[in-house]
Structure 1
Amino acid sequence: MPKVTSVTPGTFCWAELCSSDWAVAKPFYTQLFSWQFDDQPIGEDCYYTLLKKQQDDIAAMYQMMPEQVEANVSSHWLAYIAVESVDTKAAEAQKLGAHIIHGPHDVPGAGRMVMMSDPGGALVALWQAKEHSGSQRALEFNVPYWHELTTRDVKASSAFYTQLLGWQAEQHPMGDITYTLFNINGQPVAGLMPVTDEWGKDTPAHWMIYLAVENCDAMVENTPHLGGQVCVPATDIEGIGRFAVLTDPSGAVFSVMESTSGDIDKASF
């Protein structure tokens, strides 16, 4: 797969882990996914760690602020969506019911961003690329692969993203629920599923990041040995692949997907 140097507006371009314990989360991910890393100082004993596959940037992580740890903020992955103008989209998002948490502001030597919560409460970021477009690998093993919104208000969440980003919503019945596939010009960019009773009343709306893997079962087996936990064991999705939901040692939840759709470049492991 050629190196990614630009991204289409409206598509996910970057993933970033805010960890309550960066020191234990970093070896977990680098060992589980065979990633390299580059610790870039951003303060006293504080680093913005670029996670790399064969020296190409594919995601990042950092230690959350002490006041966040004291406030019991959970470790979490934050997904970024590419846009042409962060300022324009941030203003539009507010009018559509989003809450701006941080920004818009420049990230020196990289681009411009804003972090917000959508009308359903899910955290998401918008990214206007300058020197850094985002993940430099796509549709390969051990890189971000899919993003899925879980929400309690499907109608409101669907309306927000279709209006803000021009996504087209396509409904697919899946057993007792209806899965929403978001497309751009007929190409899938993300998914949406409702929170069901089995999730529990305290499950917040959230964007789940999926990483493509060669062997889902091997990831499930290795996770506890590296200090993580298995939330949902390896499970088949007909026509899609095999997935599992995992938790890193600092408490951040993410998923892995062994795709059977033939879209992964297996030559670029």
Structure 2
Amino acid sequence: MKKRSQYCFAALLPLLLSSTLLSAAEPEQPKKQVIEQAQQGKIIWADLYTGDVKASLNFYTDTFGWTVRKFGEKNDRYHLLFDGDQAIAGILAHSAQRNKTETALWIGSISTNNLQARITNAANNNATILLKPHDFALYGTRAVIADPQGGVIALLDISGADKAQQKISHKWNWSQLFSIDPKKAASFYQNTFNYTVEEIAQNKSSYYLSQQNEVMASIVKLPKSFEQRDRWVNFIEVNNLVNTLATATKNGAVVIYQPEDSSLAIIADPNGALLGLTEQESE
């Protein structure tokens, strides 16, 4: 098992979040897709909102060996990325309204139930509802919020999804919130989504978020020198971190953070989207 503390690093380059990313139309979706029951509160899916779909598709297929499928015969705005025979992420076109180097954003989806109640609770706790609960036929019902300090996250209720055909990849394994006020952020996620909050002993401005006796995410302090808006970074497992980083940088990514003697890193893809990488543990 990975040491939880390895995720709690204190700095990275700024990610400029913009709710205008979410103005893009939701894709037409097939009626029959499948997912296994996921643990509540854990990241299970992510979508890349990008101003350059072709460049994003090229980077992720060339770097990770993923394959691409369109999402519906008439839909050219949304593409599914597959890791082998398992769906792993989506790529959605949107109008690029950010700066020249940051035209993309990964938005992770955490598993939840009673989605409408969660969204109502989030709104009551001063979150902004960016996308109301809607039929995300790929995997159930989905909504997107910005927490009170600007962190953008999606909620996905898969309880009613068809489980007969296709499984989702299990390689999304961690999320970390970089926050201007970690204590306030921890309180929001505790009160809104029933996370158990555990203060990290070595760093009193950092917290773990747990559900069902398992740590699902962490919150750390965002340095004052960066844009003061909370932002989530989502981590995905790779087989060999060194090789993946070498391929990623060859394909135009920049390594934002890589602790010495650690099995994780954060990269910015060629369009500026931040993605966390962790090395898959041997059996």
Q: 2 CA distance for matches of 1:70 and 1:156? A: 29
Q: Please name the residue that 2:234 is paired with.
A: 209
Deviation at 1:97, TM superposition (A): 1.2
Q: What residue identity is the alignment partner of 1:93?
A: A
Q: 2 CA distance for matches of 1:49 and 1:12? A: 20
Contact kept? 2:182, 2:206, Cα under 8 Å: no
Secondary structure of 2:278's aligned partner: strand
* Closer/same/farther in 2, CA of residues 4 and 207 from structure 1, 3 Å limit: same
Normalized against structure 2, the TM-score is what?
A: 0.78
Alignment of 1:246 with 2:267, yes or no, is yes
Q: Which runs of 5+ in 1 are unaligned?
A: none
Secondary structure of 1:235's aligned partner: coil
* Closer/same/farther in 2, CA of residues 108 and 222 from structure 1, 3 Å limit: closer
Q: Which runs of 5+ in 2 are unaligned?
A: 1-33
| Deviation string, structure 1 residues 210-268 (Cα, Å, up to 9, x no partner) | 11123222222222211222222x3237xxx4222111112111111226xxxx4x46x
Q: What residue identity is the alignment partner of 1:192?
A: I
Question: How many residues are paired up?
Answer: 245
Q: Please name the residue that 1:99 is paired with.
A: 128
Contact kept? 1:148, 1:193, Cα under 8 Å: yes
* Closer/same/farther in 2, CA of residues 137 and 109 from structure 1, 3 Å limit: closer
Greater relative contact order structure (CA < 8 Å, 6+ sep): 2
Contact kept? 1:236, 1:243, Cα under 8 Å: no
Q: What residue identity is the alignment partner of 2:119?
A: A
Alignment of 1:255 with 2:276, yes or no, is yes
Q: Please name the residue that 2:187 is paired with.
A: 159
Alignment of 1:19 with 2:44, yes or no, is no
Q: 2 CA distance for matches of 1:124 and 1:98? A: 11
Normalized against structure 1, the TM-score is what?
A: 0.82
Higher strand share: 1
217-226 vs 128-137, which moves further: 128-137
Deviation at 1:169, TM superposition (A): 1.0
Deviation at 1:84, TM superposition (A): 1.3
Map 1:123-142 → 2, pairs under 5 A: 123-129=152-158, 130-131=160-161, 136-138=168-170
Secondary structure of 1:8's aligned partner: coil
Alignment of 1:76 with 2:76, yes or no, is no
Q: What residue identity is the alignment partner of 1:137?
A: S
* Closer/same/farther in 2, CA of residues 14 and 218 from structure 1, 3 Å limit: same
Q: 1 CA distance for matches of 2:221 and 2:48? A: 24
Candidates 37, 40, 43, aligned match of 1:6 = 37
Indicate the RMSD between aligned Cα atoms, in angstroms. Answer: 2.5
Q: What residue identity is the alignment partner of 2:196?
A: Q
215-224 vs 20-29, which moves further: 215-224
* Closer/same/farther in 2, CA of residues 29 and 182 from structure 1, 3 Å limit: same
Q: 2 CA distance for matches of 1:256 and 1:58? A: 14
Q: Please name the residue that 1:182 is paired with.
A: 209
What fraction of aligned residue pairs are identical, expressed as a percent? 20
* Closer/same/farther in 2, CA of residues 37 and 157 from structure 1, 3 Å limit: same
Secondary structure of 1:27's aligned partner: helix
